[in-house]
């Protein structure tokens, strides 16, 4: 009787394994991903966003964001390059107790658009003016 029970368990286990293998092998071709080719005009559809880790920044930004104070995109890009360079230099210095732990990925050759450059510039202003952490000497006046 004990031998029949062990033999039945082995048969049931074998059947379950066979069904599992069969089920897995048929799913391989169930989904096929192919790149879509659009014959129309090709546009740059990449969107960039700024992710900050300080929840107070959004409130401060919305209170200080005024179209009357806007500058050109090239103005923001110029300052952002200086700020990012100084920020990343401090982040890579190895001081892990520093505020500048994360490196900012900002490539000057990429057009991030007015909005992102404007918001990034304002983030640097927030760090300097509200958090009182100096990033660069002789930064922009005003704000």
Sequence spans of domains, the chain: 73-129
Distance CA(74)–CA(121), nearest Å, equals 11
Return the pLDDT at 96.
Answer: 65
Give pLDDT, residue 49. 83
The enclosing H or E element of 135 equals none
pLDDT tens readout for residues 129-140: 999 999 998 888
pTM for the full model? 0.64
Residue 140, pLDDT score: 85
Count other Cβ atoms within 10 Å, centred on residue 62: 8
Residue 83's closest CA among 64, 67, 103, 97?
103
pLDDT tens sequence across 65-117:
888 889 999 999 999 999 999 999 988 887 766 787 788 889 989 999 999 99
What average pLDDT does the segment 13-20 reach? 53
Confidence band, pLDDT 50/70/90 cuts, at residue 37: very low
């Amino acid at each position: 009787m004990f031998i029949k029970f062990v033999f039945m368990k082995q048969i049931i286990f074998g059947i379950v394994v066979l069904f599992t293998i069969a089920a897995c092998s048929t799913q391989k071709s169930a989904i096929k991903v192919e790149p879509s080719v659009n014959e129309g005009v090709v546009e740059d559809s990449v969107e960039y966003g700024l992710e900050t880790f300080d929840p107070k920044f959004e409130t401060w930004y919305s209170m200080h964001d005024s179209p009357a104070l806007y500058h050109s995109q090239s103005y923001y890009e110029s300052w952002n390059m200086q700020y990012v360079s100084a920020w990343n230099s401090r982040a890579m210095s190895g001081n892990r107790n520093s505020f500048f732990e994360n490196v900012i990925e900002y490539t000057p050759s990429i057009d991030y658009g007015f909005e992102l450059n404007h918001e990034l510039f304002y983030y640097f202003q927030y760090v300097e003016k509200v958090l009182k952490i100096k990033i660069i000497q002789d930064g922009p006046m005003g704000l």
